[in-house]
Structure 1
Amino acid sequence: MTSQQPRPFVMSHHSSQWSSEICDCCQDVPECCFAFWCFPCFACSTARKHGECLCLPLLDGFGCIPPITMAMRVSVRNRYGIQGTICNDCAYSTFCGICVWCQMSREMNVRDNNITLVHTRGK
């Protein structure tokens, strides 16, 4: 006698847009405060959460356009299928650095923690 166990089916309810705007810091006040009061620590912890080297964001201080912030934003967009352009990523990274890191952190929190498991019945 064989029996077949139901298998979970993973569904995600995300669009191809950011789940929050660049200045939606009120959606996660503790992270926004952490970023405001200790930005280097926040950026490093966000990079680690994304699976990158902990100290990678510290390299951003060497240039006009922060290359690590821009690369991380592009990587987050690619990982979650978010539409956008490198031109927008460059502008946001250059002029709204802290807000970009907050937005990326909020996106990772929403996308990585919002999974629905649906069980299917075997016949």
Structure 2
Amino acid sequence: MSGENEWNEDLFGCCNDCNTCCYGYWCTPCLFGSNAKKIDDKNCFLMCCLYGLLTSVYLCWVPHYFERQKLREKYNLKPNPSCGDCPTTLCCSPCALCQEAREMKSMEKERSMVYKPNATPPIISQPVPDSKDVHPTDIRL
């Protein structure tokens, strides 16, 4: 499951987006649910509850591991070279969730720059033929 793209966001780059960092710190289960919704359209509330329940028995990293795998697959991202997905979700879950949220935000921003649905198409004009070269009946509208 090796990807080709590098992560745009660093695992410990929380200071790059303080809102996401605070969200991940103060409500880690909610950020997990929000990420799961964006990754593969899972129910945000149920994923939040699942993460919260599994936190009490130190197993919240298990669903997080699988969601991180899906995120990497979705964006064709390489695994972290210093430590894989399992140690990342096991030991650094809040930081990993923040990284994933920032990564999705970054990818969405890139997409919006490439594809602008409300942009007007470019106007392409055809050259006007010289009147002495063309007979008026040859011009089509």
TM-score tier by shorter-chain length is 0.7 to 0.9
Q: Which amino acid aligns with 1:70?
A: Y
List structure 1 segments (4+ residues) > 6 angstroms apart after TM superposition: 118-121
Residues 73 and 89 in structure 1, CA contact (< 8 A), matched pair in contact too: yes
2: CA distance, partners of 1:73 / 1:63: 18
1: CA distance, partners of 2:48 / 2:65: 10
Residues 57 and 69 in structure 1, CA contact (< 8 A), matched pair in contact too: no
Residues 46 and 105 in structure 1, CA contact (< 8 A), matched pair in contact too: yes
Aligned partner of residue 114 in structure 1, secondary structure: helix
Structure 1 match to 2:69: 74
Residues 66 and 94 in structure 1, CA contact (< 8 A), matched pair in contact too: yes
**Quick one: which of 49, 56, 59 aligns to 2:47?**
56
1: CA distance, partners of 2:13 / 2:94: 12
- The structure having more radius of gyration, on CA atoms, is 2
Q: Which has the higher contact order (CA 8 A, sep 6+)?
A: 1
Q: Which sections of structure 2, spanning at least 5 residues, go unmatched?
A: 127-141
Q: Which sections of structure 1, spanning at least 5 residues, go unmatched?
A: 1-14
TM-score (norm 1): 0.74
Structure 2 match to 1:8: none
Is residue 2:43 matched to residue 1:47? no
Percent of residue pairs identical: 25
Q: Which amino acid aligns with 2:95?
A: C
